[in-house]
Structure 1
Amino acid sequence: MKLISTHRRTLAIAALAAVGALSLTACNDDAANGDTAATTAPAAPTQAAPTSAPTTPAAPATSAAPATGGTTGGSTGGATGGGAAPAAGTTAKIGQPIQFPYKYGKATGDISLTVTDITKGDPADLAPLKLGDKAKGQVPYYINYKVTNVGSTDMSFSSLTQVKGLLADGSEATEVSIIGTFAKCPHNSFPSGFTNGKSVTSCVLALAPEASQVTGAEYWGDPYTLGKGLNWK
């Protein structure tokens, strides 16, 4: 496994228990056949071999809610039209889509992003990722989301990974970016022929201390930044 940080600030790996911008990256022997989550430069990398995936089922922490529109904390929720980017801090309910312009490499288009649900897992789920002591006292949460192409651009083979978990107090959960495959939280790039109306589902893995929980999520990628993105609660 390699430990890296996706936060714009430099944080020590030893600070994982403090919960914040720290991100872990796990890899396995299936890396050649799986997706690679976008990350920043690695820090204090380590290597380890995978084990077989546990069979403990995940229990839901937050159920998907239907799109209802409305506002949260003064921000507009729901889909927005016209290709304009919603203001930073826009907040929607889990299960509610938000539309915005999206750029990946040379491809630029309009997408609709929905955090569909946040599911609590079991600490044993992390065994195949070989995080060791770094994951002690941490509980995995699976942030599932759907991306739909609502523009006129073919976004084939693009990818969206800039989704992170938020704890109940609004602080960042520890993100685990996976290189390779992890059955409990698969990340899927946009397929070939990803044109208007096509959708893809994906997942990111976040950790929370046992005394807390992941209750929300934030998209912080282009055209937004960390802490100033689109939120789902």
Structure 2
Amino acid sequence: MKLIGTSKNAAVLAGLIAVGALTLTACNDDAASSDTAKTPPPATTAPTTAAAAPTSPVATPAAPTTPAAPATTPAAGAPPAAGGGATAAPGTTVKLGEAVQLPFTSGSTKGTISLAVTSIEQGDPGDLTALKLGDKAKGLVPYYIHYKITNAGTTDLSYTSVGHMKGLLADGTEAQDLLIIGSFAKCPSSSLPTGFTNGQSATACAVALSPAASKVAGAEYWGEPYTIGKGIDWK
């Protein structure tokens, strides 16, 4: 469900997304198989020789030599990421402030980033007033997930955006997302700046909503190639 909120200075589109169970559909490619009919070789007729004719010895040709199969080099495992370190596996959990290296895709741009959730800040329900969410935000408390992005690869990531960051409640379930298009002073976030090449860093922020009786205690990045529930967690 998406909600539209407006403020005096900017139009803000806010969406409260109650994320339920994510169903992954695996497409199985059933390769068609068929039995190949084997045709028996044609019958051969033994040559007829004259009874009185002397038998000449027949030279037996040498058996053809089968060339030895070329030696193969065992796989050395997945290649290292462009930044030189191993990429984080799906389901990895690290502490707040700890950076992990992971592949990053934004449209046709692909690269490698180092990502760290640096802090999770509790906001005030009154922060949402400017978004004019009305009763739909009643009983919910905003939390601001701050994270740092560093270009760890060789691709220029200028003007791309690192989103797909969501909150995790104290019991491990998913918090509600608040998607905002436009500026929101309490949790500023924007596209990566121009000249965002190897070693450059930037910060971003995502908003998560929690019932007053709980709190946002962690965060998960689930951008490609990860998925919700199988992403990178900070707790």
TM (norm. structure 1) is 0.68
Aligned partners of 1:170, 1:91: CA distance in 2, in Å?
12
**What is the aligned-residue identity percentage?**
58
Q: How does 1:56-75 map to 2 (within 5 A)?
A: none
Q: Which residue type is aligned with residue 137 of structure 2?
A: A
Structure with higher strand content:
1
Post-superposition Cα deviations, 1:153-199, rounded to whole Å, max 9, x if no partner, equal 10110001100000000000011010111000011211111001111
Shift in Å at residue 226 of structure 1? Answer: 1.1
Q: CA RMSD in A?
A: 2.6
| CA gap 1:141/1:39 in 2 versus in 1, 3 angstroms | closer
TM (norm. structure 2) is 0.67
Q: How does 1:117-136 map to 2 (within 5 A)?
A: 117-136=119-138
| CA gap 1:176/1:134 in 2 versus in 1, 3 angstroms | same
Task: Assess if the C-alpha contact under 8 Å between 1:25 and 1:177 holds in 2.
Answer: no
Structure 1: any 5+ residue segments left out of the alignment? 5-23, 41-79
Task: Assess if the C-alpha contact under 8 Å between 1:155 and 1:194 holds in 2.
Answer: yes
Aligned partners of 2:93, 2:122: CA distance in 1, in Å?
22
Q: Which residue type is aligned with residue 114 of structure 2?
A: S
Q: Is the counterpart of residue 205 in structure 1 residue 217 in structure 2? A: no
Which residue matches 1:14? none
Q: How does 1:106-117 map to 2 (within 5 A)?
A: 106-117=108-119
Task: Assess if the C-alpha contact under 8 Å between 1:83 and 1:110 holds in 2.
Answer: no
| Structure 2 counterpart SS, 1:177 | strand
Q: Count how many residue pairs are aligned between Structure 1 and Structure 2.
A: 171
Aligned partners of 2:107, 2:16: CA distance in 1, in Å?
15
Off by >2 Å, runs of 4+ in structure 1 = 24-31, 36-40, 80-85
Shift in Å at residue 30 of structure 1? Answer: 2.2
Q: Which has the larger radius of gyration?
A: 2
Which residue matches 2:98? 96
| Structure 2 counterpart SS, 1:159 | coil
